[in-house]
Structure formats: structure tokens, C-alpha cells
Structure 1
């Protein structure tokens, strides 16, 4: 399996520019050979900066990843959610362990996630805006715990909601961004099976 993704960047003024392209080739032995190259249009851009000053300097030509388990540079893997959010993606798309590797997961983000980087197979991704009905946080917390236990059923009405919010903020524990009617956003951290202290 090969994955080829366009890497887009949010500039501070809100514009999006295509910075480069990453390619990942899956080998039979389980390793992933990855490369990234900046587009010449990005290298010539007056506001261009290295996406990773140490590992991805602003130079033309392909730059090898050298991380056969990940297949992408660390700056791109950082755009993915961590443990809980990745398990959400795997459940949502029915991924096998072989498919649940960073290059393929990045292709499923569809403009979501946090940070300035966006990934798409072709055109600039547009983050999906879905109207979600009001939710009771206790219900969301219950659904998140059921998911961790492996007990969340496919017909649970909160499963689509968790798919929509559960992969954006990253982190190893269940959390999501909660939007208030007044436009304010809060980072909500949910109870986890890993908690050693009961929430107050």
C-alpha cells in the first residue's frame, strides 16, 4: 500500500498554502519508507518557514523520513491525535492494525485535528462542519467510558458525536473541544479507566 498526501499549511493571516507532499510506501516486512519534499512554490513563498527546522530544512528535493515504524516525520505524526483519538479513528473506519499507521490515519483526518497542518490526497481539505444537537456532558462521559471498556454499541446515539469530537484535540486520554453558544470553547477532559483518583 502506498499513501501520497498533499501537506497544507495555515498561515498566521488565515490563508492556506500548499507546503509540500509526503509519500509513504509500505513494505512487506512491515516497514514504511517515507519521504517529504517542499513544493518549489512554497520554497519561493516570502513567508515560507521550515515545518521542522531540525529535520526538514527549507531545501529542494525529497527528504527521507528514516522512521520505518511511523513512515512520516515527527512533525506530521504530531498532527494526529494520540491513543484515544487514534482508537476512535480505527473504530470509525474499521481499520486493521496494518492500516492504523500514521500515513493512513493522516489521510482520514479530512481537515480536522488541531494545529496549522492539513493533509489531503488531492485538493485543499475543508474541515467538515456538522450541526450537533446539544449533549449532556454526563452522557458523553458515559459513552467515552463505554468505548474504553469496549462496550460501546454501534447503535449508541452518541457514537457519531464521539467520532466528530473525539479525534480533534489529541492527547492520550478522552477529551474534546466543547463549543458554547457565545462562541467560547472549552477543552473537556473526560473520566478514564486509567484514572487513579475519582473525579470530584
Structure 2
């Protein structure tokens, strides 16, 4: 191995008792190379949780090279901020626009990282639970997030400082974490000035619609005009009663360098993700759930279904990885999309019945006939789910989404005389 220039220790909040342990060491070597090794203390303690079931399987004594993200391992890239957090950190630390992911990993605070990992320079794990500080009022958070996104001076310096410190959560839109009286953690995402529609409301409707259709979607609460702007509150699935849960993104599972390399479209695939769920030990019902989400995205027109908008989470009570609840499901606010971001079957991104059913066996169905029966029943449930959630929308949006659903459901049912989305 080349002589290392930097080392970083990786900590894990244990899924069984919540204690922090040093799970491994990351070595940043010359020429942008990086290596991860599970810590001897982790091995000696008899611990064997893999932090990434695809790219960092638990193999003691092995230095595993990172092949993507300029030498950073996929699951550590998951712990980095995405577009919104990166923008804040560039401003705060004067980072260049082409800074490697490792710089964002180090610049971001451990206070609010996604999942159950933290990083530091000490070989000894932190004693504290790295809990977030007491959150300010929701309306104040929304107001400060809006000022940040519009590059206005701080309205409340303490809240501004907190938002910078907790810039680790992903996504492109302004957001922050708040905690309710039951110790549940929520992401708050306000509307911004450049929105072409009420995006927080559309996200709330998308999430509630999915739940009403019988699918496993993250819970949301809509806040109209909080701090002068509407906002949506989304329950974080990587937190439970103050404890952090291990998570891995679909980008990591599929070994897709997203969004750093947008040429790997062959890796953006629902069927491939279903296979990775099986290999990670998730039960068969998770693959059926993934199929249902694919169909729901096609029906409602959510084409922002990229590989960082899917994930798995480790359930300690089951001792296995499970498909995480669906999140960031927002019907396209501008037009009815003709294709999704991820393949519905090999080489097929188009919204059509053939594309949905072509690789049905990879989702655990016995064949196309069983999948087709499930598809038709699910489409009826999605229709009923919309009827139960459309009251959130004004007349114009209710009509728009109803027309979109009617057309897309007909396409997905293969009704004669209906033009496909190709």
C-alpha cells in the first residue's frame, strides 16, 4: 500500500445498545487513493456488523480500496452532505467548487450526519451520543433557511450557526433537522423563492398518497406558511428515539457514482436494486415493495427517483437490512414525465406496461402473470389513494394530477387506444 498522507477514524453507533465504537480506519493515500480497514478493536470485541453489505463486507485485516468518489468509500460518501450542505460548507470553509468528497466529509459536523457513522482524528470513539442540540422554533428555522438559500444576512446568528453545523444531511433543497416531544427526528424543508409550485405541499401529497396506497412511505406533516413560507416535515428513518440507525444508499448498493458520474445509467435500475436487496438479506416483501414504488412513481410522475432517493436501513430487532421507507417522492411540478430516472427493466426507462413487467421475476414474482395481477390491483389502490389525499390540493392541481394519474394508469394497464409514454 502507498504511504498514507492522512488517516481518519470511523465510528459507529452500535445497533444493539447504542454505544459508540471505532468501526474502522480510513487511509487517504497519495494520488487520490483511499483504503478502509475494520479496526482490530472492533474485531477483538466480537463485533461483526458490516457498514456496507456490498462494498465493505466484514473481512477483518483487509485493506479495501475505494474505487469511486476520488478515493472515498461509498458508505462514507453517503455520510457526506449533498448539494445543499456542500454549498453551505463551501461558503463557510472557502472550499473550491471541485473539492473532493473527502473534504466535505471532514468539514461537516458529526452532529447530524445521515445514518449511524461519524468520523474523527482519534482512534478512540466518542463517549457522547453526538445528539443534536435543542432545536429552535420551526418558524425560525424556516425563516433562516430561506435567508440562507437566498444568500441574505443572518436573521438569528445562533440559528444560522446551527444550520451550518448540521449541514450533513443530503439533498439539493434547504433543510434542517428538528426534534419533537416524542424524541422523533424530522427533516424540515421549506419552499424557496425559485419554486415553480408549492413543492413542500406536493411532497406532502406525494408521501401521503403513497401511504394511502398501502406502500411504506415516510410520514410527513405539512405546515402552511410557517415563517412566511410553507414547509414539509419528513420523519427521518435513520433515527429512532434519539439513536442513529445504519443506512446505505441505493447509489452505494448499485455502485453508481451519483451524481459525480452521470454516464453510468446502466446502474440506475430498479431490477438491479431488487437483486441487491436479496443479496443484502432483505426479505422477499421488500422487493415487492420496491416494485410498488416503481409503479407509484410512474403513475404519479415522480421522475426524481434517482439512486440517492432510495436506501436500506439496518433493523437491529430483525438483525438484517431492510428497504427504508420511501422519501423525496414529489410529482413533477412542470410536466408529465415520459420516463423515470431509474430503469424499470433492462435498458427501459420509459413508463409503459411492458417496461414494468419485463423483469418481474427479479422482484420475486413467479412470472409476468403474477406481476401483472399485482400491478393492476396496485393501480386501483393508487387511484383510491389519490381520492383520499387530493383534498390537500387546490382545484387546478387536483385536476392536473388526476388527469396525469388517469392517463398513466391506463398506459400501465395496457388499455387499448391509449398512447404510451414512449
TM-score, normalised with respect to structure 2: 0.40
Change (3 A) 1:147 1:36: same
* Residues 56 and 63, structure 1, Cα contact 8 Å, conserved in 2: yes
Alignment of 1:54-69 (within 5 A): 54-59=54-59, 60-67=61-68, 69=69
Q: Distance in 2 between matches of 1:2 and 1:53?
A: 28
* Counterpart check, 1:104 vs 2:103: yes
The DSSP-based 3-state class of the residue aligned with 2:58 is coil
Gaps of 5+ in 1: none
In the aligned structure 2, how far is the partner of 1:82 from the partner of 1:53? 22
Q: Which of 20, 23, 47 is equivalent to 1:19?
A: 23
How does 1:8-157 map onto structure 2 within 5 Å?
8-12=11-15, 13-25=17-29, 27=31, 32-59=32-59, 60-67=61-68, 69-98=69-98, 100-112=99-111, 113-122=113-122, 123-125=124-126, 126=128, 127=130, 130=133, 134-135=136-137, 137=139, 139-149=140-150, 151-153=151-153, 157=157
For residues 136 and 48 of structure 1, do their structure 2 counterparts lie closer, same or farther at Cα, with a shift above 3 Å needed? closer
Partner SS state of residue 27, structure 2 = strand
Deviations 1:117-136 (A, max 9, x none): 1100114345375456x445
When residues 95 and 26 of structure 1 are mapped into structure 2, their CA distance, relative to the original with a 3 A threshold, is: farther
Q: Show the 5 A alignment for 1:119-198.
A: 119-122=119-122, 123-125=124-126, 126=128, 127=130, 130=133, 134-135=136-137, 137=139, 139-149=140-150, 151-153=151-153, 157=157, 158-165=159-166, 167-180=167-180, 183-193=183-193, 195-198=195-198
Question: CA offsets, 1:78-117, max 9 Å, x none?
Answer: 012211012122222222235x322222223342213111
Is the CA contact (8 Å cut-off) linking 2:109 and 2:165 kept in structure 1?
A: no
**1:41/1:184 Cα in 2 relative to 1: closer, same or farther (>3 Å)?**
closer
1:155 deviation in Å?
A: 8.0
CA-atom RMSD in angstroms: 2.8
Question: What is aligned with 1:7?
Answer: 10
Distance 1:55 1:181, change over 3 A: closer
- Tell me: higher relative CO, structure 1 or 2? Use CA pairs within 8 A at least 6 residues apart: 1
Larger radius of gyration: 2
Rounded Cα–Cα distance in structure 2 between residues aligned with 1:128 and 1:46: 26
Do the aligned residues in 1 keep the contact of 2:147 with 2:155 (CA within 8 Å)? no
Select between 156-165 and 123-132 the one with higher mean Cα deviation.
123-132
State the alpha-carbon separation in 2 of the partners of residues 10 and 159 from structure 1: 28
* Alpha-carbon distance in structure 2 between the residues aligned to 1:182 and 1:50: 30
Q: How many residues align?
A: 190
| Whole-angstrom CA distance in 1 between matches of 2:192 and 2:27 | 36
